[in-house]
Structure 1
Amino acid sequence: RTRRLRSSETPPPTTRRTFRPSAVVVAAMTFKRRNGGRNKHGRGHVRFIRCDNCAKTVPKDKAIKRYKVQNIVAPENISYFTEASVLDGYHLPKIYIKERWCIIGCAIHKKKIGIRSRKDR
């Protein structure tokens, strides 16, 4: 247990902190992405999700996410439904899907995103 020092006392030499410039020098390595490939920024931990392609666990902020909205009926069959409908102006329901992929490789493999040049990023 440590005791509190009085204002007139000086701390013992073992508790003094000395500055050693040789211990502080760190080689600056280059980094590929400013955000480290994540969208975490100040959070310590982010919950994990599963990839829709390979079922790999990946942090939620690192995953590639797309919100897909599509018609339940195929486009070539919509005219049949509108003709057979009793209600005028009836809108067919849509499917709302949140797609998540673990890495860019999985999203490119499923052809959901394409490779862009550096200036287009």
Structure 2
Amino acid sequence: MPKKRKNRGRHKGDKGKEPMVYCDNCGKLVPRSKAVRVTVPYSPVPGDLARELEKQGAIVPRYYVTKTYCINCAIYLGGILKVRSEDERKKKAALSRAPIRRESVTAPSASKPAQTQTQTSAPPSTTQGMQESTTKS
């Protein structure tokens, strides 16, 4: 019988057994690599009240809650995953992720090239002096 997915729907690769986790929605036991984990911000204060409190300068706490779902709950109840056709499943396109933040590289200022020129000009003169001293002996 052909298999539907190359990785059999798991992320573990060739690691052997792994721990089982419970689905937070239905309570089903699911292998950890097969479970879908979602981190959602949670606030104990309702949204409209939180906006008004923030306008007045109050700090409204937000907690991040990580929930674990089985595949069925992630697709049908949570709306986290979507059912894809066979062609879409076979595509190697990466899933959308948050962009990686990198430090911006700034152009060197006018004073930095002068420092590098003096540093680069100094070593050749020392190497010439070393060559002269080696030729004298």
Structure 1 position 111 matched with structure 2 position 78: yes
Partner of 1:97: 65
Shift of 1:34: 1.1
Shift of 1:80: 2.3
Shift of 1:52: 0.8
Partner of 1:70: 42
**Separation (CA, whole Å) in 1 of partners of 2:42 and 2:88:** 27
**Separation (CA, whole Å) in 1 of partners of 2:46 and 2:86:** 36
Q: How well do the aligned residues superpose, as a CA RMSD in angstroms?
A: 2.2
Normalising to structure 1: TM-score of the pair? 0.59
Match of 2:33 among 61, 67, 73: 61
Give the number of equivalent residue pairs.
88
- Shift of the 117–69 alpha-carbon distance from structure 1 to 2, 3 Å rule, reads farther
- Shift of the 65–117 alpha-carbon distance from structure 1 to 2, 3 Å rule, reads same
Deviations 1:9-63 (A, max 9, x none): xxxxxxxxxxxxxxxxxxxx42211111111112111111001111111110111
Identity %: 33
Q: Which amino acid in structure 2 is aligned with residue 94 of structure 1?
A: R
Structure 1 outlier segments of 4+, above 6 Å = none
Partner of 1:6: none
Higher relative CO (CA 8 A, sep ≥ 6), structure 1 or 2?
1
- SS of the residue 1:78 aligns to: helix
- Shift of the 120–76 alpha-carbon distance from structure 1 to 2, 3 Å rule, reads farther
Bigger proportion of residues as helix: 2
Q: Which amino acid in structure 2 is aligned with residue 107 of structure 1?
A: A
Structure 2 residue runs of 5 or longer lacking an equivalent are: 90-137
Structure 1 residue runs of 5 or longer lacking an equivalent are: 1-28
